[in-house]
Amino acid sequence: MIKKTTLLILVLLTLNNLYLFSQDRVSKPIPIIGTQIKGQLTKSIGWLLNPESQWVSRPNKIPSFIENQYKTLIDYEYNGLGFDNFISYQMRDIKIQDSIYSILIKKYKDGYYKYSAIEEGWSNYNSVMFYVFNKTELRKFDDIVNDSINLIKIKVLYSNSITMIKNETYISDIQKEIVKQIEEKNSDNDVEEYLVFHIAPYKLKNIVQFQIYSSYSKYNIISGIIKEHKVKEEKENENYSWKEKQIYLSNDLFKYCYYEVDYLTFNNFIKITK
């Protein structure tokens, strides 16, 4: 009898220890992207100064840098993506755990070559780029100066590009990607990403020139666009240089390429008037 009692006590203690050290099944909260669109941009004209110093334009696209003799290829396959393009920009709220943030979602046209080495087998598809940041960062738009080039840098918390397999699922795809990044986030990472709004508003002319891209502070690497446009250096009293210079993150950008839209349309996307 004593042996049975002892055995029963041991079993109960073992079960109790298993219960104490077992982990609760707790599902990770999924970020909730608001259905309300706070601001949206779906149309603009993209401009680029081509090799012959002629300005060329396309709707919602900054055209590729192509000489006039090859201009029939400017909308062909990879060239057709331009240096940058967009279908839409949307600004929404996003709830992550107990906090509300802002998210910028960019839909754009994308593509790839099945045989990239020989540029054969081109396929088109759409992608989305997203950026999550603190809502307080939007206050920086209050300081935009009219008739001037403004460079606004917003610190990014989470971002990535995602191929749109189906148009109706891209929101859930973004949510899953953010959950993944939260789990993998390294607090010791010293490479900060910034979402850059390069904006030049001219109210009397009723136009806003702009580009939206991202950069990594440690290396000044430009991202968020199809391809970074660089220009050949021309030095005074020297021969033409084949060295390329970076024009993004500088006011020189607007000498070579930008989007342009009327003032009201841009203001409905991001409010830049008080």
Give tens-digit pLDDT for 28-80. 678 999 999 999 999 999 999 999 999 999 999 999 999 988 889 999 999 99
- Which tokens belong to 200? 């030049």
**Cβ–Cβ contacts within 10 Å for residue 186, how many?**
7
Q: Which residues contact 86 (CB under 8 A, 6 or more apart)?
A: 41, 44, 60, 61, 106, 107, 108
Terminal Cα-to-Cα distance of the chain (whole angstroms)? 87
Where b means 16+ CB within 10 Å and e means fewer, 189-211 reads: eeeebbbbbbbbbeeeeebbbbb
- The pLDDT tens digits for 230-261 are 998 776 656 666 688 999 999 999 999 999 99
For residue 149, what pLDDT band results from cuts at 50, 70 and 90?
very high
Distance CA 207, CA 217 (A): 30
Question: Averaged over 205-223, what is the pLDDT?
Answer: 92
DSSP H or E segment with residue 68: none
